[in-house]
């Protein structure tokens, strides 16, 4: 991305960004795509592919070189996520969550010691981390958090459960950051609210149990587990950021994460578009390819329009993010626009493929199963509408 001499924003990729995007696209086409059906069927994370992504520096793109990162910007991460997600959303979200939810909170809020301990292994893809926010009674409503952490003799004693936590139970998961109620704080109007704090919990800590993974509709290759914490004890120094600032800091992380998540959605939309174009030009019915039928060509034209609008939406949010400008509304706009584009394109691509589109080995069938979560994860469509409305000055909800 660059700025023209007239001060107008343009979306032409820099040579560096274009080179990265092309390299990840090639990797996605030659390595990720051919293996996607096998790992989707096995419901296994392909550690060899994840290791290669680590060697390519993808997990360290937005982090400084002093912590083992690549010293690039957040937009570089978005481009990589988009290209991976064309081929396999599970691989795309493993990177997006590994960086955005796993490593980024440590980079944003961690102490020097925490950064030095955790970031190099996370940035090099040698380890993964999860972020434990969601609970049975607390998703969109984080104030409903039931997990507690009590400070006793220099240790946090944590009790509670978490659910739907990405990258929390892999062979290379080394920690999960959890949010917990650490007390109560008085509001300006005299009412009391829960004090939410983020705490680092290393994998293998006694009492920290990663429960069996979920039987999901899609994202079969992505690692997702419920977590149980029973009298889990970690040092007081495992506090991440300020006490009582756990949710506020996570909101910042989530705003950033939505931009990368929107890139994931755009990649999914693009993948469906490319498959639909290829198939409609090669599939012959009644002596001609199906793409010569106007209703098929028009359906694909709409898929192109959605993908184009989605990419512009997430580029716009990413441009503001890397420029240090406010981007909360743009992130929510992008997340909503891009997730709907992915779901609509998956539906249309499946229709164009007909019966073949209903076979699991077909990439569009996998996108069809995978894409529904895009309208739910990292803030539902309804939450995005709420944020956009608030940014426009509607504060009644």
First-residue to last-residue Cα distance in the chain: 36
Q: What ranges do the domains of the chain cover?
A: 2-128, 130-245, 248-391
Residues designated catalytic? 378
Dihedral of the alpha carbons of 270, 276, 278, 281, in degrees to the nearest 10: -140
Cα–Cα distance, 17 to 265 (Å, whole number)? 19
What is the fold of 248-391? Butyryl-CoA Dehydrogenase, subunit A; domain 3 (1.20.140)
The pLDDT profile of the chain, 397 residues, written as one tens digit per residue, is 544 434 445 688 999 999 999 999 999 999 999 999 999 999 999 999 999 999 999 999 999 999 999 999 999 999 999 999 999 999 999 999 999 999 999 999 999 999 999 999 999 999 999 999 999 988 777 778 999 999 999 999 999 999 999 999 999 999 999 999 999 877 777 777 889 999 999 999 999 999 999 999 999 999 999 999 999 999 999 999 999 998 888 888 889 999 999 999 999 999 999 999 999 999 988 989 989 899 999 999 999 999 999 999 999 999 999 999 999 999 999 999 999 999 999 999 999 999 999 999 999 999 999 999 999 999 999 999 999 999 999 987 7
3-state secondary structure of 344: helix
Span 2-128: which CATH code?
1.10.540.10
At the second CATH level, the architecture of 130-245 is Beta Barrel (2.40)
């Amino acid at each position: 991305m660059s700025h023209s001499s007239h001060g107008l924003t343009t979306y032409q990729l820099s040579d560096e960004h274009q080179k990265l995007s092309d390299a990840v696209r090639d990797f996605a086409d030659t390595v990720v795509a051919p293996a996607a059906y096998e790992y989707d069927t096995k419901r296994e994370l392909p550690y060899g592919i994840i290791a290669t992504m680590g060697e390519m520096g993808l997990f360290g793109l937005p982090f400084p070189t002093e912590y083992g990162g690549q010293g690039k910007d957040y937009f570089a991460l978005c481009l990589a996520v988009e290209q991976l997600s064309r081929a396999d959303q599970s691989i795309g979200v493993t990177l997006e969550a590994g960086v955005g939810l796993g490593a980024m909170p440590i980079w944003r809020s961690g102490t020097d010691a925490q950064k030095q301990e955790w970031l190099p292994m996370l940035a090099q893809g040698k380890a993964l981390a999860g972020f434990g926010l969601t609970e049975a009674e607390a998703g969109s409503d984080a104030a409903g958090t039931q997990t507690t952490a009590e400070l006793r003799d220099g240790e946090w004693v944590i009790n509670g459960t978490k659910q739907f936590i990405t990258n929390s139970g892999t062979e290379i998961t080394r920690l999960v950051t959890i949010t917990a109620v650490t007390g109560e704080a008085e509001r300006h109007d005299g009412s009391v609210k829960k004090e939410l704090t983020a705490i680092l919990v290393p994998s293998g800590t006694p009492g920290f149990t990663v429960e069996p993974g979920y039987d999901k509709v899609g994202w079969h290759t992505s690692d997702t587990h419920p977590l149980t914490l029973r009298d889990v004890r970690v040092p007081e120094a495992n506090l991440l950021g300020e006490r009582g600032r756990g949710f506020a800091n996570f909101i910042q992380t989530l705003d950033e994460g939505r931009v990368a998540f929107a890139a994931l959605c755009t990649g999914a939309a693009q993948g469906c578009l490319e498959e639909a174009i290829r198939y409609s030009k090669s599939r012959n019915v009644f002596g001609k390819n199906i793409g010569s039928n106007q209703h098929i060509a028009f359906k694909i034209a709409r898929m192109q329009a959605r993908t184009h609008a989605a990419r512009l939406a997430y580029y716009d949010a990413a441009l503001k993010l890397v420029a240090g400008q406010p981007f909360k509304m743009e992130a929510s706009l992008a997340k909503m626009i891009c997730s709907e584009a992915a779901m609509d394109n998956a539906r249309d691509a499946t229709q164009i493929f007909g019966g073949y589109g209903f076979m699991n080995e077909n990439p569009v069938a996998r996108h069809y199963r995978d894409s529904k979560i895009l309208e739910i994860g990292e803030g539902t469509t309804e939450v995005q509408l709420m944020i956009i409305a608030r940014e426009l000055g509607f504060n009644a909800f």
